[in-house]
Structure 1
Amino acid sequence: MHIAEGVLPWPILVAGGALTALGTAVGLRRVDYDKIMSVAMLSAAFFVGSLVHVPVMGSSAHLVLGGLLGIVLGWAAFPAILVALLLQAVLFQFGGLTTLGVNTFNMAAPAVLCHYIFRPLLESRSPKQRNIAAFAFGFLALLFSALLTAGSLALTEGFLVAAVALLASHVAVMVIEGFVTMFAFGFLARVKPEVLEAGGVRPQTS
């Protein structure tokens, strides 16, 4: 879901850059030394996962893993995604430097939002509730990211069709993201619960 260079007008670029700067500042203030490794690993996972993409007019369809980053990192998803997108723009020309702020906000803000909505459900004693919450985390994080990206394109003259195509192309990916997030959460809860606890989630495995 990288918006390419030269697509968006400057007001959207400036607004996206300002919001990302704010989110990154909050994220960096909330990162402690115990969380640095988790931030680095998930930033790398985001970097690799979103390299496999299918071009869609002005954007692309690929795994984002925003739900997983939101579960583990919370606000730290902003700097993690920013670094990954910066490297992708510099090394592979995915997205771009001028659209870095917009692309980061579109992917990181939903991760943070879902963190606050679903975190209590992830701590439920019911395995079914935990699985549903983790699936919804992944599905809705990508849905909100797709809506923000499509909205950015829809506000640009001549890109309404591209915005609709973007949403349509990501429906299947949203379902995949939901299952990936659900299985990843279940695995971490059983094997490495301290990773989730560093993000403020205290899973119940009984």
Structure 2
Amino acid sequence: MHISEGILSAPVLISGGVVAAIGTYIGLKKIELEQVMPVALLSSAFFVAGLIHVPLGPGSVHLMLIGLLGVMLGWAAFPAILIALFLQTLFFQFGGFAVLGVNTVTMSVPALCCYYLTRPWMDNPKTRPAAAFIAGFLAILMASLLTSCALALTDTGFTAAAQLIIAANVPVMIIEGCITMFTVGFIAKVQPEILHLKYA
């Protein structure tokens, strides 16, 4: 769901850059030494998932795993996503450096929201699967809405494309919900201590 360069207006780009910088600063402050490895691994997973994408107007759709990053990393999702997006831009020209801040915000804010919305139910084995699925589904929905808002705030002519982005990501929402649910369940069985690391 990368937004390409040369599309967004200066106010949207500047606002996105400021929010991304603040979120990344807070995220870096909250990462402890024992949390560096999980952050790096999930950032890598996000990087790989984003390599396979389908262009869609001024944006694209692909697996992002931001719901998983959200429930696992909290605020640390900001630097994890920023680094992955930077490397995708550097090596594969996805998105662009000018829109790096906005793309970071459209994916990190939903991740953070999912952390606070679903994390309280992650410790209970009975509610964990539903909470994980909701996190994966909701993260993509929110990312689609934020991407659409960024486009609509730039030019009302992008309204149709914005609506298309939301509609095209509905299957991705369901797939991401399932992936997040099964991944969190697997981690809870093999290395449950990772789920207890706090980044908020």
Q: TM-score, normalised to structure 2's length?
A: 0.97
Contact 1:78–1:104, Cα closer than 8 Å, also in 2 = yes
Structure 2 contact 31–199 (Cα < 8 Å) conserved: no
Shift of 1:199: 3.4
Measure the CA separation in 2 of the matches of 1:124 and 1:41: 24
Cα distance, 1:31–1:200 mapped onto 2, change above 3 Å: closer
Question: What's the counterpart of residue 196 of structure 1?
Answer: 195
SS of equivalent to 2:61 = strand
* Runs (5+) with no aligned partner, structure 2: none
- Kindly state the Cα deviation for residue 138 of structure 1 after the two structures are TM-superposed: 0.5
Q: Which residue of 2 aligns with 1:204?
A: none
Q: Does structure 2 conserve the Cα–Cα contact (< 8 Å) formed by 1:30 and 1:75? A: yes
Count of aligned pairs: 199
Partner of 2:178: 179
Q: How far apart, in 1, do the equivalents of 2:192 and 2:125 lie?
A: 15
Confirm or deny that 1:123 pairs with 2:140: no
CA displacement at 1:78 relative to structure 2: 0.2
Q: Mind listing any 5+ residue stretches in structure 1 that lack a counterpart? A: 202-206
2:144 to 124, 146, 152: 146
Q: Tell me the SS of whatever aligns to 1:159.
A: helix
Tell me how far 1:200 sits from its aligned partner.
Answer: 6.3
- Tell me the equivalent position of 1:156: 154
Shift of 1:125: 4.3
Per the normalisation by structure 1, the TM-score is: 0.94
- In the alignment, the residues of structure 2 paired with residue 123 and residue 35 of structure 1 have an alpha-carbon distance, to the nearest angstrom, of 18
Q: Deviations over 1:47-85 (max 9, x none)?
A: 000111111000001011011101111100000000000
Q: CA deviation at 1:122?
A: 1.2
Amino acid at match of 1:66: I
Deviation at 1:136, TM superposition (A): 0.1
Partner of 1:28: 28
Is residue 2:22 matched to residue 1:44?
Answer: no
SS in structure 1 of the partner of residue 154 of structure 2: coil
Aligned pairs for 1:83-102 within 5 A: 83-102=83-102
Q: Give me the whole-angstrom Cα distance separating, in 2, the residues matched to 1:80 and 1:26.
A: 12
Deviation at 1:197, TM superposition (A): 1.3
CA distance in structure 2 between the partners assigned to 1:125 and 1:94 by the alignment? 38
Cα deviation, 1:162-196, whole Å, max 9, x if unaligned, reads 10110011000000000000000000000011111
**Distance of 2:18 and 2:125 partners within structure 1:** 40
Question: Offset of 1:156 from its aligned partner?
Answer: 2.1
Write the deviation string for residues 20-42 of structure 1: whole angstroms up to 9, x where unpaired.
00000000000011000111111
Answering whether residue 2 of structure 2 is matched by residue 6 of structure 1, we say: no
Cα RMSD of the aligned pairs, angstroms, is: 1.2
Q: How big is the shift at 1:12?
A: 0.2
Question: Is this contact kept in 2: 1:71–1:199, CA < 8 A?
Answer: no
The one-letter code matched in structure 2 to 1:154 is A
